Structures are given as C-alpha cells and as structure tokens.
Amino acid sequence: AQTVTQSQPEMSVQEAETVTLSCTYDTSESDYYLFWYKQPPSRQMILVIRQEAYKQQNATENRFSVNFQKAAKSFSLKISDSQLGDAAMYFCAYCTGNTPLVFGKGTRLSVIA
C-alpha cells in the first residue's frame, strides 16, 4: 500500500521568513499525483498546490512552491514570506489515476509575529 510520511509533526517560522515542510512517499507507480492541503483552525481543508509526477517542473502558487524529487520520492513544500494566516495544519497527499488520495499525518505550522 502506498504511504505518505511527514516527518515533522510541528514546525515554526518567523513572520516574513521562509519555511520548508517535508513529505516523502512510497510507491511503485510511475504516474501519480501529489498534493499539499492546508487546514487552518477553522478546519476547512483547502488545496495549496498540486503536482503531476510526469511534469519535471516544480509547481508554484504565489508564495508556495514545491521541490519535487521523483527519484528520492520527496515532495517538500516551501512557504516564502510567511504570514500569520499561514498558520495551519499542512497535509501532504498522494494518489494515482485509479486509487484515491492517501494523506500523511500532517505538520502543524506556527507563525511567530
């Protein structure tokens, strides 16, 4: 079974600084999809960024970018210019075209003013 590992249960960052959240996954598939979802204190899950494994270019969304290392099965999320509103749980997730999303256990990010 596919697994997604987030090795950092908690992280903190100073406002305006950069932080990187780690995610590794285990798969034997060559074609798959990776996601980062954000869950703020409101509990509402929101997509942050999505990456298709066949695309070598790292996905970016404004201050959010990923470092996708396919050979290493690593998918880290970089948040630049951190803001107080970035404080949340962040979940890494994986799926193939045929199997539903598998989530990691999450990383709680605190932003210090």
Interface residue list for another protein (CB under 8 A): 9, 33, 35, 42-47, 50, 52, 91, 95-106
Those residues with Cβ within 8 angstroms of residue 14's Cβ, 6 or more apart along the chain or in another chain? 82, 111, 112
Query: In whole angstroms, how close is the CB of 7 to another protein at the nearest point?
Result: 13
Q: How far apart are CA 103 and CA 36, in angstroms?
A: 9
C-beta of 75 vs 91, nearer to another protein: 91
Q: Yes or no: say if 39 and 21 are a contact pair by the CB < 8 Å rule.
A: no
When the beta carbons of 54 and 63 are compared against another protein, the nearer one is 54
The nearest distance, CB 43 to another protein, in angstroms, is 5
Q: How far is the CB of 46 from another protein (least distance, A)?
A: 8
Minimum CB separation of residue 14 from another protein in Å reads 26
Nearer to another protein, 57 or 113 (CB): 57
CA gyration radius, the chain: 13
Q: Which is nearer to another protein, 17 or 31 (CB)?
A: 31
Quickly count: other Cβ atoms within 10 Å of residue 53's Cβ: 18
Residue 84 CB neighbours (<10 A) = 10
